[in-house]
Amino acid sequence: MPATKTIKISEEMKTKLDEIKIHPRETYDDIIRRLVNFYEKYREKIKMLNSSEVSSTNVVSR
Amino acid sequence: MPKGKYTNLSIRREVREELDKIREELKINDLNDLLILLVKTYREHTNIISKLDEITNTISREITNAISKVISSVSDTHTNTVSKEHTNTVSKSDEPKPRVFCKSKSEIKNIERYVKWLKENNKLIDWWDEETKYCFEVKE
């Protein structure tokens, strides 16, 4: 079983990931790992934010 | 997933699994949408942190300046007090010493006027009558 997996992301998303690099040689794996850690630390707040965004999107789409 | 250019990224299997768990937790179907949310909140968070850092640094600088001013003012007050104490000591030692002199009564035509004159000149400390003369204690 390979230790790595490939994910398909948009060029725009790749640029956004580049923008939050701490140093130029930081890998995308490191960046996404950092985002995962960030999520684990602020899980509840992000959940709330996500649910409010989803509900506001629903209101707009109606 | 919206149409556009895409790119493949290689990440560790466990990181991908973590992403999938989060996707399920947040009920987000698309991995890109999840990353958009995470990057957005991460950037907002880091912006707030950097603003807080700026505020903390400003407050810290202001507190340091205020403390320096207080220390400087306390130091000045202390210096002035010491200086005044020193001046007082010096002035005390420099105060004119009393001197006693006597004049025969014949020399003084009007004792009251003479005493008044001494008082006006702030010289007289005391005076007394000694039969044939008047004696005065005065500041030099």
Decide if B6 is inside a domain: no
pLDDT at B78 over 90: no
Instruction: With respect to residue B4, please indicate whether it lies within any of the assigned structural domains.
Output: no
Structural domain boundaries enclosing A53: 29-62
Q: B131 — alpha (psi -120 to 50), left (phi > 0) or beta? A: left
Let me know whether B89 and B131 are in one domain.
Answer: no
Across the range B17-33, mean pLDDT stands at 94
Per DSSP, B38 falls in state H
Residue A44 CA to residue A40 CA, distance in Å, equals 9
Residue B45: its pLDDT value, please? 92
Q: Which of B6-10, B78-82, B127-131 reaches the highest mean pLDDT?
A: B6-10
Asked if residues B34 and B19 have their Cβ atoms less than 8 Å apart, the reply is yes
- Which of A44, A46, A54 should we substitute to test contact with B (largest number of B Cβ atoms within 10 Å)? A46
* Residue range B84-137, pLDDT digits in tens: 666 666 555 566 678 888 888 888 888 888 888 888 888 888 898 888 889 989
Residue B57's domain comprises 11-95
pLDDT (mean) for B64-92? 76
Could you tell me if residue A5 is inside a domain?
A: no
Contact yes or no for A7 and B18 at CB 8 A: no
In this predicted structure, the answer to whether residue A47 has a pLDDT above a threshold of 80 is: yes
Query: Is-contact B116 B80, C-beta < 8 A?
Result: no
Q: Does B77 lie in the same domain as B35?
A: yes
**Residue B29 DSSP SS3:** coil
Question: What's the pLDDT score for residue B16?
Answer: 95
Comparing alpha-carbon positions, the chain B residue that sits nearest to A48 is B26
The confidence score (pLDDT) of residue A61 equals: 46
pTM of the shown model? 0.58
Q: Report the pLDDT averaged over residues B6-12.
A: 93
pLDDT at A1: 54
Task: Give Cβ neighbours of residue B136 (< 8 Å, ≥ 6 apart).
Answer: B100, B101, B102, B103, B118, B124, B126, B127
**Which range, A15-24, A53-62, B1-10, B90-99, has the best average confidence (pLDDT)?**
A15-24
Whether residues B82 and B127 fall in one domain: no
- The domain tally of chain B equals 2
Q: Which residue has the tokens 């001197």?
A: B99
B130 plus B90 within the same structural domain: no
Output the pLDDT for position B2: 56
The predicted structure's pLDDT at residue B92? 53
Residue A56 clears pLDDT 80, i.e. is over it: no
Exposed/middle/buried for residue B42 (C-beta within 10 Å: 0-12, 13-18, 19+): buried
pLDDT tops 50 at residue A62: no
CA B5, chain centre distance (Å) = 62
Confidence (pLDDT) at B88: 62
Min Cα separation B57/chain A (Å): 22
Instruction: Let me know the angle formed at the C-alpha of A9 by A5 and A10, rounded to the nearest 5 degrees.
Output: 165
Q: Is residue A46 part of a domain?
A: yes
What residues 88-117 of chain B have any CB closer than 8 A to a CB of chain A? none
Would you state the pLDDT for residue B43?
Answer: 94
Chain A interface, best mutation among B7, B24, B30, B37, by max A CB count within 10 A = B7
